[in-house]
Amino acid sequence: MSDETNHNVRDPTTPPAATPAGEQPGNPARRKFIREAAVVGVAGAAGLALAACGKQEAGKVAGSAATSAAATTASAAKGLPEDYVPPGQLDEYFGIWSGGQSGEIRLLGLPSMRELMRVPVFNPDFTIGWGVTNESKRILGPNFPPGGDCHHPHMTQTDGHYDGRYVFINDKAHTRVARIRCDVWRCDRIVDVPNVQAIHGLRVQRAPRTGYVFANGEDQVPSPNDGRDLDDPKKYQTMFSAIDGDTMNVAWQVIVDGNLDNTEADYAGKYAASTCYNSEGGVTLAEMMQAERDWVVVFNIARIEEAVKKGDFKTIGSSKVPVVDGRHGSPLTMYIPIPKNPHGINASPDGKYVVANGKLSPTVSIIEWAKIDDWFDGKFKDPRDAVVAEPEVGLGPLHTAYDGRGNAYTTLFIDSQIVKWNIADAIAAHGGKKVNYLRQKLDVAYQPGHNHSSMGETRDADGKWLVSLNKFSKDRFLPTGPLHPDNDQLIDISGDTMKLVADGPVYAEPHDAVLVHKRFLMDKIKKVWDVNDPFFAETVALAKSQGVNVRSDNKVIRQGKKVFVYMTSAAPVFGLTDFKVKKGDEVTVTVTNIDPIEDVTHGFCITNYGINFEISPGATASATFTADKPGVYWYYCTFFCHALHMEMKGRMLVEA
Ligand code: CUK
Ligand code: CUA
Ligand code: CA
């Protein structure tokens, strides 16, 4: 990053200013390198040398640390890092990571930070055949735009507790929202959100259950966006959308003033609240930074539903989604002025407060949900009075997490720190009491965006772990060319002071993640596919209509120029050793894995034909293509499934 464009960003090798409470860790030790007491001194010193570009020193230390790690792996837990999970043992938490620009979701285990699985969502993926199989294409839709830009993964809740049904995530790049099933960890629905552009903030309704999935349209556009009002920004607008998480239909939309960034829901199921950084309605950076205050916009769900029920809405263009007017002055919304270009917004797990993070202001604004009740009930007039404290926390506050013990942890992008502060003390200080609400500032490496605490967005916030999702890694890892990995750092927050435990390099850019205790998921996750699973039910039904039982039949059916090839897979053989088609045929190959054994996955690849997909135990998968090249084309199994895996193959014979 150049100094011209980011003059506010402190050189990360320079220690930050002294902090008000707790010990200042300075350049945090690389806990991963410190595997036993004997090397602590050496590794610590060389760790600092690495930060100061001592490349050779760093190489030496990495070597000795690796040796020491191997030596201690089998030893007792004493002296091992807190994130150490011995071989064969399971992690305590699932980390559900946004895959950012990759368009996928990633599953991690915590505290080890081991990556467990990638779940393609908006992106083509040739491991699973996402974007190749007919089953995935039905979900991706006919216009499958390659890729997505994922920011905010959130799991369904019931009464403020995770319920392990679905995870939802936004695609800012193509204005979509996807749903991922938690039982098989596969995307099963994607909805295009009409009338808006760029879905950014996404959260789920917490009570009584999800319910609605709330999604912010970020950028303002003409309405309808069909070529009119091209350069007349005064006529641009955006909307807040509520998607029915059960049907994946857009239930309603609310026109707002300004734009919308992140969003959050309360714990009572009554409100959603979004930050707006562009109350100015500007189209340039300078214009968007003019006002000293922007807004938190609160949406009154009951009133919006009432308006829709009464028919007090319009529709736009070809969309049938009811659109209500929630602009400034509407009884459906509340505009709370807060400083300045706010970004993240996070509800505290006690259900009482929601905190908006100031970004260009060194403050966070604490808003009390009960005061929002009072304002909508007409008990006071000035929406500012819902702000019960506005503590100064540091430079560039972006997102806040909670430990369930009354403390909040806010990322400071510009300061490259996490600041721990106490909510009750901040409110007391706002009321004039002499009390220091700041608890500690911890350096992170570097420039954090979101952070997330274990169970911290639910009533079950347990205050054990915090991850800081840092946008820059600079000198922390072996070089990978001009594109660096992000650095997701693990922090122990179980004690009075935060302790940095591990660095986690990740492929760009997991804006956000949630940490879900495994007790909410273990009994919900399937080990083999149900043969009647809806994911491939349409494929199985098509076969049935042709008189084919996919679990036992191996046959080729010709219908004019269309050829349907059905085969089973059971290690180490496909049900057909060859099949014959004619050049120009439209060929659909359907493969069913009849191995009932956990973890025996097969793949099906037709060489030089662009067909490759995975079939896990119990699954049926299919792909359709045109046999446009005559000749012999071997198909083979791509997942190592058996000692005779290499022999698991057959021939597609394409007649000229
Ligand atoms: S985020 Cu989407 S710009 Cu701070 Cu929730 Cu990174
Ligand atoms: Cu089946 Cu390899
Ligand atoms: Ca602004």
State the CATH number of the domain containing residue 580. 2.60.40.420
602 touches ligand 2 (CB under 6 Å): yes
Give the CA radius of gyration of the chain.
Answer: 27
CB 392 within 8 A of CB 376: no
152 touches ligand 1 (CB under 6 Å): yes
- The answer as to whether 3 is a domain residue is no
- Ligand 1 atom with least separation from CA of 262: 5
| Residue at token pair 């007919």 | 134
pLDDT for residue 145? 82
637 touches ligand 2 (CB under 6 Å): yes
Q: In angstroms, rounded to a whole number, what is the distance separating the alpha carbons of residues 111 and 492?
A: 9
455 touches ligand 2 (CB under 6 Å): no
Nearest bound ligand to the CA of residue 152 = 1
452 touches ligand 2 (CB under 6 Å): no
Q: Note whether 477 and 600 are same-domain residues.
A: no
- Ligand 2 atom with least separation from CA of 639: 2
What does the block give as tokens for 318?
């070809």
How far does the centroid of ligand 2 lie from the alpha carbon of residue 643, in Å?
9
Q: Note whether 313 and 431 are same-domain residues.
A: yes
Q: Note whether 496 and 552 are same-domain residues.
A: no
How far does the centroid of ligand 2 lie from the alpha carbon of residue 83, in Å?
35
Q: Note whether 472 and 556 are same-domain residues.
A: no
pLDDT for residue 77? 53
Is residue 295 helix, strand or coil? strand
Q: Note whether 497 and 583 are same-domain residues.
A: no
CB 235 within 8 A of CB 226: no
Edge to edge, what strands does the sheet with 631-636 contain?
578-582, 649-655, 631-636, 602-606, 611-615
- Ligand 2 atom with least separation from CA of 641: 2
Nearest bound ligand to the CA of residue 259 = 3
How far does the centroid of ligand 1 lie from the alpha carbon of residue 16, in Å?
24
Burial 377-412 (b: 16+ CB within 10 A, else e): eeeeeebeebbbbbbbbbbbbbbbbbbbeebbbbbb
pLDDT for residue 146? 83
Q: In angstroms, rounded to a whole number, what is the distance separating the alpha carbons of residues 500 and 491?
A: 4
Nearest bound ligand to the CA of residue 264 = 1
What does the block give as tokens for 32?
């991963």
Q: Note whether 452 and 564 are same-domain residues.
A: no
520 touches ligand 2 (CB under 6 Å): no
308 touches ligand 2 (CB under 6 Å): no
172 touches ligand 1 (CB under 6 Å): no
Determine which residue's CA is closest to atom 1 belonging to ligand 2: 602
Is residue 527 helix, strand or coil? coil
- The answer as to whether 419 is a domain residue is yes
How far does the centroid of ligand 3 lie from the alpha carbon of residue 52, in Å?
38
Q: Note whether 411 and 349 are same-domain residues.
A: yes
648 touches ligand 2 (CB under 6 Å): yes
Nearest bound ligand to the CA of residue 641 = 2
571 touches ligand 2 (CB under 6 Å): yes
Q: Note whether 336 and 453 are same-domain residues.
A: yes
449 touches ligand 1 (CB under 6 Å): yes
Q: Note whether 460 and 554 are same-domain residues.
A: no
User: 493, 509, 525 — which closes off a domain?
Assistant: 509
- The answer as to whether 136 is a domain residue is no
151 touches ligand 1 (CB under 6 Å): yes
645 touches ligand 2 (CB under 6 Å): yes
Q: Note whether 464 and 565 are same-domain residues.
A: no
512 touches ligand 1 (CB under 6 Å): yes
Nearest bound ligand to the CA of residue 280 = 3
Work out whether strand 249-256 and strand 323-325 pair parallel, antiparallel, or are unpaired. Answer: parallel
- The answer as to whether 572 is a domain residue is yes
- Give average pLDDT by consecutive 10-residue segment, the chain, 656 residues: 38 39 36 32 31 33 36 52 94 98 98 98 96 98 89 98 98 98 98 98 98 97 95 95 98 97 98 96 94 97 98 96 97 97 98 98 98 98 98 98 98 98 98 97 98 98 98 97 97 97 96 98 97 97 98 98 98 98 98 96 98 98 98 98 97 98
CB 561 within 8 A of CB 585: yes
| Interacting residues of 379 by C-beta distance below 8 A, sequence separation 6+ | none
CB 347 within 8 A of CB 266: yes
Contacts 24+ apart (CB under 8 A), 287-293: 288/341, 289/340, 289/341, 289/360, 291/340, 292/339, 292/340, 293/337, 293/338, 293/339, 293/340
- The answer as to whether 148 is a domain residue is no
User: 474, 492, 509 — which closes off a domain?
Assistant: 509
User: 509, 525, 546 — which closes off a domain?
Assistant: 509
65 touches ligand 2 (CB under 6 Å): no
Q: Note whether 551 and 618 are same-domain residues.
A: yes
- The answer as to whether 23 is a domain residue is no
Nearest bound ligand to the CA of residue 284 = 3
Q: What are phi and psi of 101, to 5 degrees?
A: -65, -15
How far does the centroid of ligand 3 lie from the alpha carbon of residue 338, in Å?
10
How far does the centroid of ligand 1 lie from the alpha carbon of residue 234, in Å?
26
**pTM value?**
0.89
CB 386 within 8 A of CB 358: no
The total domain count for the chain is: 2
- The answer as to whether 495 is a domain residue is yes
Q: Which structural domain, as residue segments, surrounds residue 557?
A: 534-655
- The answer as to whether 215 is a domain residue is yes
How far does the centroid of ligand 2 lie from the alpha carbon of residue 648, in Å?
6
Q: Note whether 377 and 489 are same-domain residues.
A: yes
Q: What is the CATH number of the domain that holds 195?
A: 2.130.10.10
CA dihedral angle for residue 3, residue 11, residue 83, residue 404, rounded to 10 degrees: -90
